[in-house]
Amino acid sequence: MWVRALFVAAALAGAAEAYFITVDAHNEECFFDKVEAGTKMGLMFEIAEGGFLDIDVKIVGPDGRVIYQGERETSGKYTFAAHVPGVYTYCFSNQMSTMTPKVVLFNMDIGEAPKEASEDTEAHHNKLDDMIRELSSTLTGVKHEQEYMQVRDRIHRAINESTNSRVVMWSFFEALVLVAMTLGQVFYLKRFFEVRRVV
């Protein structure tokens, strides 16, 4: 339970753009974004908790066309440009799980909509402006990637610490069992070789 609380704290502290959702067994969670044609979109996700850390992912366009579909994925990053204007749907499906809910960390990065070029703006259009806009978009992508990696690092650290504490507890339990068995054997051998006097 403390691991889940750590995940939520990591999301709030480290990555303002990342979201955690819980997808129950036999369920599907979908999210929607309305964008213009040509807008760059990028979906990053990772399974933080539950089962074999896998989930089905699907991105569908406004025209019903499946843009991306993956089965039993643990993490991924998919970038595409909107081919038509409208509402794009991205879904996380846990239909294959019988009883285990999955905790999913995801981030949908949406770029700026392309501006329509008219004759007036074409005359004043500057290649330097395009380069600055592209650089700004790339830097935003790098920032989101860093936030995503920070959250992943916190998740993996929490899993490692949890595993480490279990190993320590198991080793302590094994040591207690070995000590108890040793004392039992000493007691048994002592009684076995004890000379009994007959009066």
The per-residue DSSP string of 41-57 comes to EEEEEEEEESTTS-EEE
Q: Which of the pair, 125 or 155, is modelled with greater confidence?
A: 155
Confidence of residue 179 (pLDDT cuts 50, 70, 90): very high
pLDDT-derived band at 8, boundaries 50, 70, 90: very low
Q: What is the mean pLDDT of residues 160-168?
A: 92
- In this prediction, residue 13 carries a pLDDT of 39
Please report, for the chain, the start and end positions of each structural domain, with discontinuous segments joined by +: 2-112+126-159
- Within the chain, residue ranges assigned H as helices are 2-14, 119-124, 127-192
How many residues appear in the chain?
Answer: 199
DSSP code string of 157-180: HHHHHHHHHHHHHHHHHHHHHHHH
What is each CA distance from 88 to 44, 158, 193, in whole angstroms? 15, 34, 82
| Other Cβ atoms closer than 10 A to 45 | 25
CA distance 71 to 92: 10
**pLDDT higher than threshold 80 for residue 194:** no
Average pLDDT, the chain: 81
**Both tokens of residue 127?**
């290649």
Bridge pairing between strands 86-93 and 28-35: antiparallel
State how far the Cα of 44 lies from the Cα of 76, in Å rounded to an integer: 6
Tokens (6 digits) for 180: 């108890």
What is the helix (H) or strand (E) element at residue 35, kind and residue range? strand 28-35
Buried-exposed string 101-128: b where 16+ CB fall within 10 A, e elsewhere: ebbbbbbbbebeeeeeeeeeeeeeeeee
Contact 151, 103 (CB under 8 A): no
- Per residue in 84-111, pLDDT (tens digit) is 999 999 999 999 888 889 988 888 888 7
For residues 114 and 166, give the distance between their C-alpha atoms in angstroms, rounded to a whole number. Answer: 52
Residues 42-87 pLDDT 10s: 888 888 888 888 899 999 999 999 999 999 998 888 889 999 999 9
What percent of the chain shows pLDDT beyond 90? 36
Assigned CATH for 2-112+126-159: 2.60.120.680
Q: What is the pTM of this model?
A: 0.61
Question: Which amino acid type is present at position 84?
Answer: V
**Among 156, 138, 162, which residue's Cα sits nearest to residue 46?**
156
What is the pLDDT at residue 116?
Answer: 64
Q: Quick one: pLDDT band at residue 15, thresholds 50, 70, 90?
A: very low
